[in-house]
């Protein structure tokens, strides 16, 4: 509005305008009706907004669960058979050793079919398409366990990812195309084998405990190694960010004088809290790797970057917990002759500890899910090849982390890896959920109201 100037009201003996008109309260007048309708509309917008938010949450949860659960099962083909010493020697003597074992395997299969009165024609190539090349697995087993020769052994052979996909509904007879990986006709055999209990779906332990696999073997990829990578990173974050964060908060909340230096710190903390995470990745790359020559892809470097990123969060929540301790506690300690430092460390800090821990866990959970900075320090690609072989190696050997591993899978062209990515998300969310629940329990258990 520019400027409103009103003339003094001409006729304002007041009578005509302020004599109350007699209207009944019981009758809703037209305007009120309109206003109430608009009120209802407005309220409906609010409810809609919340429902939309919750709808997205449900859709996400549904996608994650429905797409991710198959990653936790795998399809195996169970066959029991005996390889005798002669067969072993014979096979080892041949040029194509694994081929010889496959012969043994096929024989055992047909025998089992007869026992179960299954009549279906099959050849070794079909079997190969279903279970990959079983010969090598069998050979490796007997080379490692020669004492088992002549004893009946039950083999659990992993089915190929396409068979896996067929059984969990990712592939159907309609969308399958004949290829060297799987023919449509093989599915008949698969159906029969499922019926006969030879092909079964079992819990996919290798996914939980395994390491990443090459781009051509989605079935063998596991998240275990990157869970370990995340764990070592979190150790770094915890042991750096908790003491530094608490020390910085104590200084700012209890000792810092009102001056430019303190202001500078405050401004820095509030701005760092809002700096995009990718910028911390650039910092890590330039300072830790380019400048300090720390090893690339190492959980140590990841941990350092995430520490710097988490510090503002931890400092902000720690300061809130310190602030919540009433000044009377400090006064009481100072009153009996404690120094300021003793008052803080003996009385204020222990009382603020539950709040600090809650904040730290939430900060850690945030760090655990962070991906972008890890991409820049090389924790992406085929790096989670196996478990570190020592404790120090856990910090220094190239490894991935859960979210970076999920990204790696999502970026691969083979669709079968998507299932792994969703499965990885379930694992990641389980970790995050447990951390948050722990934080809530801590808060409930130790919450103190002054």
Partner 1 sequence: MPVVWLILIVLAIAVVGYVLGRGRALAGAASEHVKLHSLPSYYGSNVAMKVAVPAFLIMVVWLLAQPIIVNNSVSGLIPETAIAEGSSRGLVLAEVRRAASGLDNAVAAGIMDEDFARNARADFNDITTRLRDAGQIVTSQITQPILRAAQEYRILNSTGRLLMTIAVLLAALAGAAWGILESKPNFRARNTVEQGVKALLIAAASIAILTTVGIVFSLVFNTIEFFRLYPALDFFFGLTWSPTFSGRGGNSELGIIPLLWGTFYISFVALIVAVPIGLFAAVYLSEYAGPKVRAVAKPLLEILAGIPTIVYGLFALLTVGPLLVSIFGPDGVGIMQAGTAVMTAGLVMGIMLIPFVSSLSDDIINAVPQAMRDGSYGLGATKSETVKQVILPAALPGIVGAILLAASRAIGETMIVVLGAGAAARLSLNPFDAMTTVTAKIVSQLTGDADFSSPVALVAFALGMTLFIVTLGLNVVALYIVRKYREQYD
Partner 2 sequence: MKEMPKIDKADEMSETKIAASKVQVYYGTTHAIKDVDINIQPRSVTAFIGPSGCGKSTFLRTINRMNDTIDICRVEGEILIDGEDIYDPKVDPVQLRAKVGMVFQKPNPFPKSIYDNVAYGPRIHGLAKNKSELDEIVASSLQKAGLWEEAKDRLDEPGTGMSGGQQQRLCIARAIAVNPEVILMDEPCSALDPIATAKVEELIDELRENFTIVIVTHSMQQAARVSQRTAFFHLGILVEEGPTQDIFTNPQDKRTQDYITGRFG
| Span of 27-35, 264-272, 315-323, 383-391 interacting with partner 2 by CB under 8 A | 27-35
Identify whether the C-beta of residue 237 lies closer than 8 Å to the C-beta of residue 367. yes
Considering CB distances under 5 to 8 angstroms, the limit depending on partner class, which of partner 2, partner 1, none binds residue 247?
partner 1
Considering CB distances under 5 to 8 angstroms, the limit depending on partner class, which of partner 2, partner 1, none binds residue 3?
partner 2
| DSSP per-residue codes, 335-357 | HTT--HHHIIIIIIHHHHHHHHH
Q: Which is nearer to partner 1, 149 or 316 (CB)?
A: 316
**Count of Cβ atoms closer than 10 Å to residue 354 Cβ:** 18
Q: How far is the CB of 404 from partner 1 (least distance, A)?
A: 8
| Span of 23-31, 124-132, 159-167, 259-267 interacting with partner 2 by CB under 8 A | 23-31
Which residues have C-beta within 8 Å of that of residue 308, sequence separation ≥ 6? 272, 280, 283, 284
Considering CB distances under 5 to 8 angstroms, the limit depending on partner class, which of partner 2, partner 1, none binds residue 259?
none
Helix (H, G, I), strand (E, B), or coil: what is residue 99?
A: helix
Instruction: Identify the H or E element spanning 247.
Output: helix 224-250
* Per-residue CA distances from 366 to 60, 235, 279, 356, 362 (Å): 19, 14, 16, 15, 6
Helix, strand, coil shares of the chain, percent, nearest 5, are 65, 5, 30
Identify whether the C-beta of residue 73 lies closer than 8 Å to the C-beta of residue 203. yes
Considering CB distances under 5 to 8 angstroms, the limit depending on partner class, which of partner 2, partner 1, none binds residue 332?
none
The reply to whether 17 sits near partner 2 by the rule CB under 8 A is yes
Token pair for 293: 């020559």
Which residues have C-beta within 8 Å of that of residue 294, sequence separation ≥ 6? 288, 300, 301, 304
Residues in region 353-412 near partner 2 by CB under 8 A: none
Strand partners, 77: 157, 199
Q: How far is the CB of 152 from partner 1 (least distance, A)?
A: 42
Q: How far is the CB of 319 from partner 1 (least distance, A)?
A: 11
Q: How far is the CB of 450 from partner 2 (least distance, A)?
A: 24
The reply to whether 47 sits near partner 2 by the rule CB under 8 A is no
Considering CB distances under 5 to 8 angstroms, the limit depending on partner class, which of partner 1, partner 2, none binds residue 422?
partner 1
| Integer Cα distance of 88 and 92 in angstroms | 6
Query: HSE-up of 15 (CA within 13 Å, CB side)?
Result: 2
Q: Which is nearer to partner 1, 199 or 309 (CB)?
A: 309
Considering CB distances under 5 to 8 angstroms, the limit depending on partner class, which of partner 2, partner 1, none binds residue 86?
none
Q: Which is nearer to partner 2, 10 or 95 (CB)?
A: 10
The reply to whether 32 sits near partner 2 by the rule CB under 8 A is yes
Q: How far is the CB of 379 from partner 1 (least distance, A)?
A: 10
Q: Which is nearer to partner 1, 108 or 248 (CB)?
A: 248
Tell me the torsion sign for CA atoms 135, 141, 146, 148.
negative
The reply to whether 42 sits near partner 2 by the rule CB under 8 A is no
Of 410, 364, 386, 416, the residue nearest 160 (C-alpha): 416
The reply to whether 41 sits near partner 2 by the rule CB under 8 A is no
The reply to whether 291 sits near partner 2 by the rule CB under 8 A is no
Of 373, 365, 374, 363, the residue nearest 405 (C-alpha): 374
Q: How far is the CB of 4 from partner 2 (least distance, A)?
A: 5
Q: Rounded to a whole number, what is the distance in angstroms from the first to the last CA of the chain? A: 48
Q: How far is the CB of 408 from partner 1 (least distance, A)?
A: 10
How many residues bind partner 2 (CB under 8 A)? The answer is 26
The reply to whether 258 sits near partner 2 by the rule CB under 8 A is no
Q: Which is nearer to partner 2, 20 or 93 (CB)?
A: 20
The reply to whether 257 sits near partner 2 by the rule CB under 8 A is no
Q: Which is nearer to partner 2, 11 or 95 (CB)?
A: 11
Q: Which residues bind partner 2 (CB under 8 A)?
A: 1-9, 12, 14, 17-20, 22-26, 28-29, 31-32, 35-36
């Amino acid at each position: 509005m520019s400027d409103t100037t009103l003339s003094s009201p001409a006729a304002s003996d007041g009578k005509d305008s302020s004599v109350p008109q007699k209207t009944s309260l019981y009758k809703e007048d037209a305007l009120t009706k309109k206003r109430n309708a608009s009120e209802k509309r407005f309220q409906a917008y609010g409810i809609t907004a919340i429902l939309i938010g919750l709808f997205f949450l449900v859709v996400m949860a549904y996608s994650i669960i429905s797409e991710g659960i198959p990653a936790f099962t795998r399809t195996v083909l169970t066959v029991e058979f005996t390889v005798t010493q002669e067969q072993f020697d014979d096979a080892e003597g041949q040029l194509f050793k694994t081929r010889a074992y496959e012969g043994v395997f096929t024989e055992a299969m047909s025998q089992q079919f007869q026992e179960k009165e299954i009549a279906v024609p099959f050849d070794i190539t079909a079997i190969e398409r279903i279970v990959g090349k079983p010969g090598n697995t069998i050979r490796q087993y007997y080379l490692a366990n020669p004492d088992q020769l002549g004893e009946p052994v039950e083999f659990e052979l992993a089915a190929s990812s396409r068979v896996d996909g067929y059984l969990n509904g990712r592939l159907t007879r309609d969308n399958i195309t004949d290829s060297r990986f799987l023919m449509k006709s093989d599915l008949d055999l698969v159906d029969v084998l499922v019926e006969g209990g030879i092909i079964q779906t079992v819990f996919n332990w290798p996914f939980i405990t395994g390491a990443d696999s090459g781009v051509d073997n989605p079935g063998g990829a596991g998240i275990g190694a990157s869970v370990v990578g995340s764990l070592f990173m979190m150790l770094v974050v915890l042991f750096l960010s908790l003491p530094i964060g608490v020390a910085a908060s104590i200084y700012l909340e209890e000792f810092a004088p009102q001056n430019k230096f303190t202001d500078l710190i405050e401004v820095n903390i509030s701005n760092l809290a809002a700096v995009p995470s990718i910028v911390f990745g650039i910092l890590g790359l330039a300072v830790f790797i380019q400048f300090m020559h720390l090893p690339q892809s190492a959980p140590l470097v990841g941990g350092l970057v995430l520490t710097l990123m988490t510090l503002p969060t931890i400092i902000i929540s720690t300061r809130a917990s310190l602030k919540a301790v009433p000044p009377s506690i400090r006064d009481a300690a100072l009153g009996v002759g404690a120094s300021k430092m003793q008052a803080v460390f003996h009385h204020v800090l222990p009382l603020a500890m539950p709040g600090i821990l809650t904040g730290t866990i939430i900060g850690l959970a945030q760090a655990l899910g962070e991906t972008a900075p890890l991409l820049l320090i090389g924790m992406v690609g085929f790096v989670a090849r196996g478990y570190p072989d020592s404790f120090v190696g856990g910090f220094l050997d190239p490894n991935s982390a859960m979210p970076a591993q999920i990204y790696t899978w999502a970026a691969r062209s083979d669709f079968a890896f998507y299932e792994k990515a969703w499965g990885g998300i379930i694992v990641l969310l389980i970790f995050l959920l447990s951390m948050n629940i722990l934080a809530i329990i801590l808060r409930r258990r130790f919450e103190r109201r002054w």
